[in-house]
Each structure stands twice: as structure tokens, then as C-alpha cells.
Structure 1
Amino acid sequence: MKIRWWSCWQRLMMVVFVVVALILDMTTSDPQIYLIHKACSGTPASVFTNLNSMDSFFADIRRELSNKDTHYAIRETALGDFPTVYIMVQCRIYLSAADCVGCFDTAVSELRTCPSSIGAHITYDGCFLRYEIYKFDDQAVQAEAAPHRKCGNQSESQATAFNAAVKQLLADLKVATPKIINGSFAAAKSEVAGGSAAVYAVAQCIKTLNESRCQYCLTVAHDDLYYCVPAAYGRAFEVGCFLRYSKTPFFADNQTINITHFLGGGSTGDNGRTPFLGEGSGSARDGNKHRLAIIIGNIIIEK
């Protein structure tokens, strides 16, 4: 009788453990699927009337994102009358593999609303997905001159200090990010003067851009995003890069290091981006201390 009671107790505790684990997973999961931009490009083509013809390629990409935790995948394949179709997906590196896949799945579903186009580009907070019938891996910005930004509709109460913190942080990201290897990605946090608020920001180029093209893209995005300040949040997007800031955190707060090493005057060159992130305890500009999280691949380096 005692043995049976103990066995039931063990089973009950196992059920409780599984339920708690599932709840924790649901509360921490965030694929960041706020839709920022969607463009269906080109002349309608019959080969794309039914995107089911691309399902096998999407499934292959999904497996790669799930199994390798790469946050990035690119494919070239023949399809219908087109000798080559190019597909690329890239997630923000602070997303988990599961959240990256979740963002990708959402993008594929959204892609089906462009069923007759020969190209499409979809950008979310957490990822982007693009396909075209031409190579675009070195394209930095859109051809059209229209601004590509989304600004918040509320201004921060501490406008002067907040503006200074945002502008300095975005300027530093514009300089530092292109010099980082393996994806040109940087996430940052800056305290607003007075210590009562903070600014969070991220910059990312597509993995196939070299340093100079990444720099060009982020310069364009930076100049667009500059007009969002003093809005409490803003996003700038190009085909080759993404820049975002917010007064609320959207990545882990403990992923910070000093970026002084990247803010010097020299370039490391297109084929020699610097993997070393510098030393020191922090930096200050205009009274706004900030530390930057540099995430290379799936490795977080902290000082």
C-alpha cells in the first residue's frame, strides 16, 4: 500500500513539473512577430501562383533553423520557368532557436499573401524573409528613396535626456556593428541621464554584406530613424539591415560589454572584421553611460 501511494505521488510530482516547465516556456517565448514591412515585388508570374511549389524549400530551411541554431539560411534553386530562385531568412541573434523558427513560420504564412509575385520581402521585429529571381545578397538598400521607418506615437517624458541617449547610442551602433564578424549584429543598452530610464537598441546587417555595404546600409537606416526621436520607440528597415530602439527591453539585459574598441577611427577591412570586443568597464558620452552587448553567432562575450 505504501509503495502504491509513493508511486502515485511520484507521478503527480512529474505532472506538476511538466506543467510548470510548459508554463515557463510559454512565458519566456517571444518570436517578436510584429510586422514592420511587407513588399510584393515584380510582375506577376504564373510559376508563383501557388506557393506550395516552394514548400519543400521552406521545410528544408526550417529544419536548418531548428537543428543548427544558426539564425540564418540561404537557398538557391530552380523553380518552374526560372533557372534560379534565391531565398534568404535571418533572425535576430538574441532569439532562441524555437523563437527564430516561430518568426520564420509566421513570415512564410504572410508570404502566401503575395502568391503571384516574382519576389517578396517581409520584415518582423524578430526576423526577415525574402525571395527573388535574382541575387540580392549584396544589396544594401531599396531602390526607392522613400523613408523606411516606423516611429512610436508617444514621446518620452524626459525628452532632452532621452533624445541625447538615443542619438548617441544609435550613432555608436552605426559605427560598431559593421566591424563585427559573423552577422554584423549588436544589441545595446544605455542609461538615460538621471538614471530613471534606459534605452535599448539593436542593429543588424544581413550576413552576406561586407563591412562597407553594411556601413552604408546602417548609415541610411540611422538617418531615417533619427527622425523618430523623441518617440519612445522606432524602427528603420532596409533590405540589407535593421535598426531599432525602444525605452522598453526586447533582449536580455545581461548581454553587455564595452564597445570602445569598435568606436575608433579605423576600419578593419571587408575581409577582416575584428572579433575582439575590447576591454574596460564602460564609457560615457554627454553624461550617458552605456554598455553594449555584442553577440557573435551564438556566443555571448562578456567583460
Structure 2
Amino acid sequence: MLMVSSGILFSLFLIFVLVYQATTQPSFIYHYCSNNTGKYTSKSTYKASLDYVLANFSSNTGIDGGFDSYSYGQDPDKAYAIGFCRGDLEPDVCLSCLNDSRIALTQLCPNQKEAIGWYDNCSLRFSNRSMFGVQESAPNYFMWNKKDVSDVDGYRVVLTNLLSGMISDAASGVSLKFATRTSVAPDFSKIYVLAQCTPNLSEQDCRDCLDLIYAQIPLSGLAGARAYTPSCNFRFETYPFFDVAAVVQSPHLPPVLPPPLIKGTKRNTTTRTAIVIVVPTLVVIILVVGIIYLFLRVRKRKDHLETMDEMGNVESLQFDFDVIRAATGDFSDANKLGKGGFGPVYKGKLSNGQDIAVKRLSKNSRQGDSEFMNEVVSVAKLQHRNLVRLLGFFLEGNERLLVYEFVPNRSLDQYIFDPKKSANLDWESRYKIIKGIARGLLYLHEDSRLRIIHRNLKAANILLDIEMNPKILDFGMARMCVLDQTEGNTNRVVGTYGYMAPEYAMLGQFSIKSDVFSFGVMMLEIVSGHKITSFREGENKEYLLSYAWKNWREGTAVNLIDLTLRSGPLSEMIRCIHIGLLCVEANVADRLDMASVVLLLNSNSIALPLPTQPASFVQYGVPLATSMKLDTDCKPVSQYEVSITELDPR
């Protein structure tokens, strides 16, 4: 009986493990795949070294203080890895987190020799260079909890007092550089704070690491925040996010041993006792497997219902061809707004009086019908006040029409680069435009259904509505990614030189940070009133970024400001120049993300780090006035050069 039950138990356990692994795919809070140290192939010596060191995180049962490091191999194919857990975790929880990290990180960064990923409970990093005992602050990641705080000043005072000793407490640790504190906020809620460094850092290095990220976290107006770097992390919240009881008792007290058996107690050696243990366990596992099976059935049905819903959405978005033809006067030249590489755009008016813009796509598109419709549904779900809205489509044979909302004013470049019109665009309007573009880009990067990297952000692709609110358009070059994918590679670079980040223009490496670079260029254009590709200083042709950096370094940033804006708030304009320079950093990891940009634009009290020299195309010999082209022979885009996203296979 015992042998049969054990066999069934083992089989069901295997089924449970396989089903569990197939239905769970943990996602990092943030991960970074570095291309700075090169890539490896699946049969390389470095791959073998990396597999060896990462395997230790799944097999080791004695992880010390939530931290472990390994290295294996010979240079230049030697692999190094560091696993780091939150200080209050039990060893088994820590190991489980690191094992998940090992699997996820090698899947997300399959060829990079260096990468890092962060979960709530742990982080894992590997590289082909030694990282042991070295304090590193990049790459880093910041998150804000923007929940309202009832007493902003009182909350800040309590939080500041809490933090005053936290860094010293964590840095002075020996086997564990980990500290937590709790306190009562002015509204009688609790504040929970945690600071931690990797134990292999010196006390001074730990202090420096925590000081650096602490200086970048605003304490005013936020209910919580967290910061992650390779060497340290920091977090505060109004709810317990660590095991308070475990920390109070000290997470590394000797384990409590079970009481000894009372003399004369019989040990579990009889078949009856074995049955008492095995049968209930077997029943529980059967129930668990049954629940998982039901879960899979429910999820499959849910996916089916979502598919049906998608089909319904497609039908609701489809326009009648005769309706569009009537609205545009049979696509008359009088209603043509412009023509780009993807086809002409016409203004139209529906029978209910609504104005629309209709793009008639060229008939040589290589996109399939189902792919086209699925993409229309995805783009139509992007609902944000700072994005041009797709209203619907028509598809039949070779005829493909996209229907957008009509935005009455022209594109941003028609205003800021026109000497007469720019004089009517005061700083208040320009600042509103900058913040609106930032909010729209943040939505694409973080809040939309899919993470969308635009890849062709520039002033010509920003429309202005009747109230001069900006709307981002032209997703014809965008890339849609899974939610936790922040970068990728392409062998088909598209966009416009000057706006493109160097790593994208030169190497085809695009990311949300390449969009940030483009946004930084636009900020400097909006403040200066000059194009990135045709800026002049007197008789000399100058690159706008190099001119901005030269004046920033010499303390004459005011020289960059459009002469028509000199009567506005100079401190706010110079702060925008500062933020713009932080967006065009040469090092991708040093650039801000859009969440930070939006926060900084809405709070003048947050201190800004000093920028470094921005990336320069001139040093690469790249012709600034050149535009990258798609497969079609693109012409200069019109004010309504809006295109459906072209998804490339991965």
C-alpha cells in the first residue's frame, strides 16, 4: 500500500511541477540587458561558464545572508554571477526567487554577456567581468507611489527623520548590510522603510551607494518610492512590504529546533502511520491538480471570449467604403491634406458632422488581412488625450483605409520653426506642449496594453489641437513589445537622423531610452526654436546638442533660449534645458526614463543630477539632414502622415 501510494504521489507531483512551470512565468520589476561587453553564442565557452555559475543558484542550499556570488572559467570567457535577496527572507524563499531569476534573465537576455534583473524579493546579475566588491550605481531603476498624502510637510519630516539613521545602520552591517524602520505618519498611518547593500561592499561604498539613490528620490508628495541599483536598494511605503515580525526578531537568529520526542513515543515506522500521512497528502495533491486543471479550462474559455470580443471590436471599427468616399468627396484633390510614403491623407466630414482624416494606404503593402485587422484593434485601444486617435478602418481587396480623428491645427514644427508663428507661441504654451508629449510617451512606454517604442518621435509628428494640446502620431515605425521588454534589435533602422539615439542609428539597438533621446532633442528644439539638423550660430553651422552642451558647461545656457521667450520664467526654461540634456546622455543607462521626466516637469523642487556631454552624430560622420527610409521610397511627411504600426517578427 505504501509503495503504491508513493508511486502515485511521485507521479502526481511531477504532473503538478510540469503544470505549474507551464502556467507561471514570473516577470521582473525591471531588467537590463547590456550590450557593452559583447554577446555570446549558444556553443561558446562563455555560455558553458555562465550555465555553470547560474546552476549554483538552483542547487545551493546554504545561501549565506541572502547573498551569494560565483565565478567560473578562464578569461576572457570567465563568467561571474551575483545573487542578492531581501534581508528578511528565509533561505528557501530566497533560493526560489534566484532560481526564477536565473531562468527569466537568460530568456530575456539570451545572448548578452552582461545582464541584471530585479524582483521584489531578489536580484540576479551576471557578467564576463568581475563585479565582486565593486560599488556600481548603473543601471538603475526608480518607481514612485503617487498616492495622495494628506499632510505633505508632516509626512516629509517624519520620513526624513526615519532616513537619517537608515543609511548608517545598513552600511555598518557586517554579515548583512540591511536595515528597516517603521514610524507613525501624521495621519496616524504607518511608514515602512528599508535600505540594503550587497554584503561584499565596504561600509563607505555602501554609504555612497545609498546616498546616491536617496538624493534622487523626492520625499515630498509621494506615499512611496523604490530605487534599485546593482549594489544597493532603497524603498519606503505606507504599507508593510517586508516581513515586519521576521525583522523584529532578527532574520538570522538560530533556527528553532522542534521539541525532543518524549521517551517511550513510538516512531513512524508502521504501515498504519504511513497511510495516515500519505493518503491525506495524496488527496491534497489531487485537489491541487484538479484546481489547476479547472484554472486552465477557465483561462482557455476566457481567451476564447477575449478572441470573440476582439472580433466584435473589429466589426465595430469597420467603416463602409461608400461612407468614407462620400465624406472625402470621392478622395478629391481639394480634400487632400498631404501625401507620404504610406499613401495620401484626406480630410473628410461624416454625416453626423464629425471631421475625420483618412489615410489611403498604398496598395503594395505586404501585410496580411488578419495581421492588418489585429493591428488596427491594438492601435484603436490606445486611448490618451496626447495621442492621435484611430477611429476605424476599411479593408477589402487591395483597398485599405485608416480613419483618424481630425486635428485642426498643424504639426508642431510648423509653429516653432516659423519665425512669425513662433513669436505667438509663448512659454506657457510651449511648456504645456512639452508636458503633454511627455505624458503621451509615458503612456506608450508604461501604461498602454503593450509597451510601444515609437522610433520616429520628432516635431513633425506632433499635431496640435484647437487648444494647442499636443498629440503624438505616426506609428508607422513603432515597435510593440511585451510589457517587460524594454529594448530590442533590428536590422531595419527607420527614423530621422539627429532625433535618433546613436546606439539605434549605428547599431540598430532601440529601446524606450532611444525614444527618450528623441524627446530630449525635441525639448531643446522647443526651447530654442531651432531644428536639430539646421541650427546655425552666426555664419557657422552648429549641431544643436553640441551648442547646448557648450553653453551649459560655460554657464551660458540662456543663449539657447528662443529670443521671443526672453521675457518668460528663465529658471523654468533652463530647467527644461537641463532635463533635455539628461535625456540625450551618450550612455543609455544614464538617460532618464519618461516616468522620471514627467515627475521632474511637474515639480520644480526636485534636484536634478548633472548632465554629461551628450551623444554626437558628428563624431561618427553621419549626415544630419539625412532621413532613414522604410522599404518604400518615403517623401517628407505631411501634417497627417499617420501610419499603422508595422510589426516585425522577433
TM over 0.5: yes
Measured in 2, the distance between the counterparts of 1:45 and 1:187 equals 39
- Aligned-residue sequence identity (percent) comes to 21
Aligned-pair CA distance for 1:217:
0.3
Shift of 1:67: 4.1
Deviations 1:224-256 (A, max 9, x none): 22x154222110122210001110002233456
What is the one-letter code of the residue matched to 1:298?
H
Q: Which moved more, 1:66-75 or 1:117-126?
A: 66-75
Question: Which stretch of the first structure deviates more once superposed, 39-48 or 126-135?
Answer: 39-48
Question: 1:106 corresponds to which residue?
Answer: 100
**Structure 1 counterpart SS, 2:112:** coil
Find the counterpart in structure 2 of residue 284 from structure 1: none
* Cα distance in 1 for residues equivalent to 2:156 and 2:58: 40
**Residue 85 (structure 1) shift:** 1.2
**Greater fraction strand:** 1
Residues paired across the two proteins, number: 225
The Cα shift of 1:116 comes to: 1.2
Distance in 2 between the 1:239 and 1:253 partners?
Answer: 24
- Cα deviation, residue 170, structure 1: 2.2
Instruction: Tell me the CA shift for residue 180 of structure 1.
Output: 1.5
Q: Does 1:130 align with 2:125?
A: yes
Cα distance, 1:43–1:252 mapped onto 2, change above 3 Å: closer
How has the CA–CA distance of structure 1 residues 215 and 299 changed in structure 2, closer, same or farther, with 3 Å as cutoff? same
Provide the residue aligned with 1:59 in structure 2.
55
Please state how far the C-alpha of 1:141 moved relative to its aligned partner: 3.0
- Tell me by how many angstroms 1:210 deviates: 0.4
Number of the residue aligned with 2:239: 248
Sort the Cα spacing of 1:211 and 1:43 in 2 relative to 1 into closer, same or farther, 3 A: closer
SS in 1 for 2:73: strand
5+ residue gaps, structure 2, are: 1-25, 255-650
1:158-169, aligned counterparts within 5 Å? 158-169=151-162
Structure 1 residues 39 and 56, CA, compared in 2 at 3 Å: closer, same or farther? same
Amino acid at match of 1:86: Y
Give, in angstroms, the shift of residue 101 of structure 1: 2.0
Say if 2:198 and 2:232, in contact at 8 Å, map to a contact too.
Answer: yes
Q: Distance in 2 between matches of 1:164 and 1:128?
A: 31
Residue of structure 2 aligned with 1:117, choices 112, 125, 131:
112
Q: Match of 2:182?
A: 189
Could you list the per-position Cα deviations for residues 126-184 of structure 1 after superposition, in whole angstroms to 9, with x for gaps in the alignment?
1111111111123323357xx74211132222323222222221232122211121121
Question: Residues 242 and 170 from structure 1, CA distance in 2 versus in 1: closer, same or farther, beyond 3 angstroms?
Answer: same
Report deviation, 1:37: 2.8
Structure 1 residue ranges (4+ consecutive) displaced by more than 6 angstroms after TM superposition = 49-52
Report what 1:213 is aligned to.
Answer: 205
> Which secondary structure does the structure 2 equivalent of 1:170 belong to?
helix
SS of aligned partner of 1:230: coil
The CA deviation at 1:89 is 0.2
Whether 1:224 and 2:224 are equivalent positions in the alignment is: no
Tell me which amino acid in the other structure corresponds to 1:129. Answer: L
CA contact (8 A) 1:49 1:115 kept: no
Which residue type is aligned with residue 236 of structure 1? A
Preserved contact between residue 98 and residue 122 of structure 2 (Cα < 8 Å): yes
Amino acid at match of 1:71: G
The residue type paired with residue 224 of structure 2 is Y
Structure 1 contact 35–124 (Cα < 8 Å) conserved: yes
- Deviations along 1:49-103, one digit per CA (max 9) or x if unpaired, are 8897444432322222x34564211101017x73421111010121122321222
Question: What's the counterpart of residue 93 of structure 1?
Answer: 87
| Structure exhibiting the larger radius of gyration computed from Cα positions | 2
One-letter identity of the residue aligned with 2:29: I
Counterpart of 2:252 in structure 1 is 298
Q: Which has the higher helix share?
A: 2
Return the offset for 1:223: 0.8
Query: Structure 1 residues 84 and 204 mapped into 2: Cα distance closer, same or farther (>3 Å)?
Result: same
> Which range moves more in the overlay, 84-93 or 66-75?
66-75
Partners of 1:157 and 1:49 in 2: CA distance? 58
Q: Helix, strand or coil: the match of 2:56? A: helix
Q: Which residue does 2:386 correspond to in 1? A: none
Higher relative contact order (CA 8 A, sep 6+): 1
2:210–2:232 Cα contact (<8 Å) kept: yes
Q: Distance in 1 between matches of 2:198 and 2:249?
A: 16
1:104-140 Cα offsets, whole Å, 9 max, x none, are 1221122121111110111222111111111112332
- Matched to 1:237, the amino acid is Y
Q: Does the aligned pair in 2 maintain the 1:121–1:131 contact within 8 Å?
A: yes
Q: Find the residue that maps to 1:212 and give its secondary structure.
A: helix
Q: Structure 2 CA distance, aligned partners of 1:128 and 1:238? A: 10
- The CA distance in 1 between the partners of 2:109 and 2:85, in whole Å, is 21
